[in-house]
Structure 1
Amino acid sequence: MPRTKKKNRGAQHGNVQPFSDEDASIETLSHCSSFSDATSVADEGGEASEDAAQEDFQYKLKGFIDSTVDKSAKTRQGALDGLKTAMATRILYEFISERRMTITDSIERCLKKGKGEEQRAAASLACLLCIQLGSGIESEEVLKTLKPIFRNILADGSANIQARQAVATSLGLCTLVAEDDILDVHATMECFENLFTRSYARADGTCPSVSPQTSQLHTNALLSWALLLTICTASQVKDILRKHLPKLPRLLESEDVNMRIAAGETIALLFELARDMDAEFEFDSWDELCDKLNALATDCNKHRAKTDKRKQRSVFRDVLKAVEEGDFQSETIRFGTERMTIDSWVRKRTYDAFREFVGSGMNYHLQANEFIRDVFELGPPMLVDSATMKAMKISRFERHLHNSAAFKARTKARSKFRDKRVDVGEF
């Protein structure tokens, strides 16, 4: 991953009263006014109103930071969720950078002393903190502090299962963003391997008995392992192909649909990486694997839920194409005035990982987050003025007219082809 070293600006934090849990869903305001909607600013009274809203927003954020050390577990969790919401929906680099050590200390405390939901929220906040800071010295320091705690929780079978699930996901993305040593990346991958390999079907075809929550932990570990595959060196990928590709199909036997899907997508990713290194790559059990993938792409087992079968068939049709033909069903993501194409399993796994944490804020981060733009090779953020944005917007009525006209044209064309009286020879 590209590394942009950034200087730490020290730690500051305000002394304000804690906020209630509902503040976790506040409508946050960006410090990066270039990406704000100028119309809404004008409605609120222009620049003065924007400054007041910015001050109020930062006041609330300081309150959340202070509340992460409150005696009440409910208050601490509400504060963690409030910070998560803010970091997921806006770029707050300057504010966060000045308080990085304070926030990291709070996350560490909540992970060590908190219980399930609080630990889950703290693990997710750690990941969002790294996403905000980007790839550099600051995020490396965050990971250096939290990695031993993450690994302990992950390896501790007596730890809260929700906390372990969250850590399995957060450690993967934190490592992608902040880990500077590829050997440490590999060591973290081994931590994940120690988990998901426990779901491998046995040699006789029977599956180990695991609870749904444990299966989710193993699935999260597999997805994080696959994410780190995308930044492995060629020699590491070769070792992984030799060691894991013959065994990964055993996960396709899992009773958990999410595990089957994660395994299928990971197999497709491995085939893509293998063929990038060697276009003539061959897998000894290729025919057997394709048969298994085809069975999952056309699964009609009555004992499985319809929604699970529908979701599974859709994914495994794409996985089968990837293994058989090296094909990928591309997808276009539109954000602001730009667009990005998800055209590979590597890019899909990376995009899905970021989207899991920033959620509906993904399009905003694609526009404004320098680190995420760097990951997807989008270049520096584009500053688009409000007049240009307004000119590019299409009203709902205009969009409705356009869609109606297109629908009528399509219907007319199809009806013409369906009409048996039309001579096919005319076409």
Structure 2
Amino acid sequence: MPRTKKKNGRGGQHGNVQPFSDEDVSIETLSHCSSFSDTASVADEGGEASEDTAQEDFQYKLKGFIDSTVDKSAKTRQGALDGLKTAMATRILYEFISERRMTITDSIERCLKKGKGEEQRAAASLACLLCIQLGSGIESEEVLKTLKPIFKYILADGSASIQARQAVIYPHNYCCFLMDGTCPSISPQTSQLYTNALLSWALLLTICTASQLKDILRKYLPKLPKLLESEDVNMRIAAGETIALLFELARDMDTDFEFDDWDELCNKLNALATDCNKHRAKTDKRKQRSVFRDVLKAVEEGDFQSETIRFGTERMTIDSWVKKRTYDAFREFVGSGMNYHLQANEFIRDVFELGPPVLVDSATMKAMKISRFERHLHNSAAFKARTKARSKFRDKRVDVGEF
């Protein structure tokens, strides 16, 4: 990749650094790390020299983003945070990040303290991605030690904006997960905050001990059904999925687990699975009914609707509520880079028990490309056939009309 022109010197500030473009992401994603690239293919595309140049340019851009997190302009800081988020979501950068862990952590801390709204949201999300890159160990623990007091302060600060409190509640509990492995009247402005709190709490449930779970089931399971009456569809869904998760965990400990208000709970879940309230949006009802059909099966029958995630040459089956909650939590932060992290991130692979990263040779990659190309040809042929058939049908309708 040719070196781009740079207005600033290498020792200067990068105040006008912009986040990655789609082109940047696609180019860098193709060369994630040495374990996923074949030396022969590198030579075909310009040799090791061009690879080194691309890597140097990429690291230079990352350094620019880090420098720009201390810029006076909030817009520039926001762009730098977003750039770092995109990079961490689409590549494994352990060595680069490990060397600059304290600097990046200080930048996140500064943006959380001095920033507002979206800047705090971006900084909090970056904290999660930083821990995902560093994995479960002393380095992530140090990040959490530094940022946890700030997360807790913002959460407890009643004068802080709702946006700020929403931004930190999920990352706070999410980082803890990485280390340890009456319905309230909720306004629209605070419902997302409460929903995030519930989902992040559910994530921590997946790593609780048996004794902790017994205490939680006794104290909180009877209270959760009340949240099913919330006016916010996302809160209802979060409550339903958390209930299903708790039932699964309870039955894993005791196959004869019983819940005192089981009949009443099933009636509520069934009503939500068949909801026809006219005052609710159609999209909300459709989404809700789909989720609560699965939740009802979980509570009544201990059933889970499994799904298969494909990434590279591998597959992973989401076959439990525990696995679903964990997968959804990671996907919340890495987004479209989730499949890549499932392939290459040793920590995430360890969480899902996928084993070491699988090396893919050039022959396999070529076979995959041929398969995709053949599928494209098949789809194109099918599209042409449909178009031709529809044209004939339209011609017949014209003939009948004229007759």
CA distance in 2, matches of 1:2, 1:88: 24
Contact 1:4/1:136, CA 8 A, preserved across alignment: no
CA distance in 1, matches of 2:253, 2:400: 48
Contact 1:34/1:385, CA 8 A, preserved across alignment: no
1:13-412 aligned within 5 A: 27=28, 30=31, 32-36=33-37, 41=42, 44-167=45-168, 207-396=183-372, 398-399=374-375
**Normalised TM-score (structure 1):** 0.79
Q: CA deviation at 1:63?
A: 0.3
Contact 1:29/1:57, CA 8 A, preserved across alignment: no
CA distance in 2, matches of 1:215, 1:422: 56
Q: CA deviation at 1:399?
A: 1.9
CA distance in 2, matches of 1:345, 1:34: 32
Residue by residue over 1:346-395, the C-alpha shift from the partner in whole angstroms, topping out at 9 and shown as x without a partner, is 00000000001000100000000000000000001111122221123344
Q: CA deviation at 1:155?
A: 1.4
Specify whether residues 6 and 412 from structure 1 end up closer, same or farther in structure 2 by C-alpha distance, changes over 3 A only: closer
Specify whether residues 284 and 198 from structure 1 end up closer, same or farther in structure 2 by C-alpha distance, changes over 3 A only: farther
Specify whether residues 394 and 28 from structure 1 end up closer, same or farther in structure 2 by C-alpha distance, changes over 3 A only: closer
Describe the SS at the equivalent of 2:316: strand
Q: CA deviation at 1:213?
A: 2.5
Q: CA deviation at 1:314?
A: 0.2
Partner of 1:191: none
Q: CA deviation at 1:413?
A: 21
Specify whether residues 357 and 258 from structure 1 end up closer, same or farther in structure 2 by C-alpha distance, changes over 3 A only: same
Specify whether residues 3 and 341 from structure 1 end up closer, same or farther in structure 2 by C-alpha distance, changes over 3 A only: farther
Q: Give RMSD over aligned pairs.
A: 9.1
Contact 1:300/1:309, CA 8 A, preserved across alignment: yes
Contact 2:129/2:334, CA 8 A, preserved across alignment: yes
Which range is displaced more, 364-373 or 5-14? 5-14
CA distance in 1, matches of 2:236, 2:391: 41
Specify whether residues 421 and 113 from structure 1 end up closer, same or farther in structure 2 by C-alpha distance, changes over 3 A only: closer
Specify whether residues 196 and 282 from structure 1 end up closer, same or farther in structure 2 by C-alpha distance, changes over 3 A only: farther
Residue by residue over 1:163-187, the C-alpha shift from the partner in whole angstroms, topping out at 9 and shown as x without a partner, is 21121xxxxxxxxxxxxxxxxxxxx
Partner of 1:184: none
Matched residue count = 397
Q: CA deviation at 1:131?
A: 0.1
Which range is displaced more, 42-51 or 279-288? 42-51
Q: CA deviation at 1:206?
A: 7.6
Contact 1:111/1:123, CA 8 A, preserved across alignment: yes
Extract unaligned runs of 5+ from structure 1: 168-194
Q: CA deviation at 1:127?
A: 0.3
Residue by residue over 1:128-179, the C-alpha shift from the partner in whole angstroms, topping out at 9 and shown as x without a partner, is 0000000001000000000010011111121121221121xxxxxxxxxxxx
Specify whether residues 107 and 29 from structure 1 end up closer, same or farther in structure 2 by C-alpha distance, changes over 3 A only: farther
Specify whether residues 196 and 149 from structure 1 end up closer, same or farther in structure 2 by C-alpha distance, changes over 3 A only: closer
Contact 2:247/2:298, CA 8 A, preserved across alignment: yes
Describe the SS at the equivalent of 2:29: coil
CA distance in 2, matches of 1:2, 1:298: 58
Contact 2:151/2:172, CA 8 A, preserved across alignment: no
Specify whether residues 324 and 411 from structure 1 end up closer, same or farther in structure 2 by C-alpha distance, changes over 3 A only: farther
Q: CA deviation at 1:212?
A: 1.4
Q: CA deviation at 1:312?
A: 0.2
Which range is displaced more, 383-392 or 223-232? 383-392
Q: CA deviation at 1:246?
A: 0.6
Contact 1:196/1:221, CA 8 A, preserved across alignment: yes
Specify whether residues 421 and 210 from structure 1 end up closer, same or farther in structure 2 by C-alpha distance, changes over 3 A only: closer
Contact 2:3/2:54, CA 8 A, preserved across alignment: no
Contact 1:342/1:348, CA 8 A, preserved across alignment: yes
Specify whether residues 55 and 426 from structure 1 end up closer, same or farther in structure 2 by C-alpha distance, changes over 3 A only: same
Contact 1:97/1:133, CA 8 A, preserved across alignment: yes
Contact 1:28/1:57, CA 8 A, preserved across alignment: no
Q: CA deviation at 1:402?
A: 6.5
Specify whether residues 265 and 2 from structure 1 end up closer, same or farther in structure 2 by C-alpha distance, changes over 3 A only: farther
Contact 2:199/2:238, CA 8 A, preserved across alignment: yes
Contact 2:312/2:343, CA 8 A, preserved across alignment: yes
**Normalised TM-score (structure 2):** 0.83
Specify whether residues 53 and 385 from structure 1 end up closer, same or farther in structure 2 by C-alpha distance, changes over 3 A only: same
Which range is displaced more, 248-257 or 20-29? 20-29
Specify whether residues 24 and 409 from structure 1 end up closer, same or farther in structure 2 by C-alpha distance, changes over 3 A only: closer
Residue by residue over 1:271-327, the C-alpha shift from the partner in whole angstroms, topping out at 9 and shown as x without a partner, is 000000000000000000000000000000000000000000000000000000000
Specify whether residues 411 and 90 from structure 1 end up closer, same or farther in structure 2 by C-alpha distance, changes over 3 A only: same
Specify whether residues 6 and 338 from structure 1 end up closer, same or farther in structure 2 by C-alpha distance, changes over 3 A only: farther
Identity value in percent: 94
Which range is displaced more, 389-398 or 45-54? 389-398
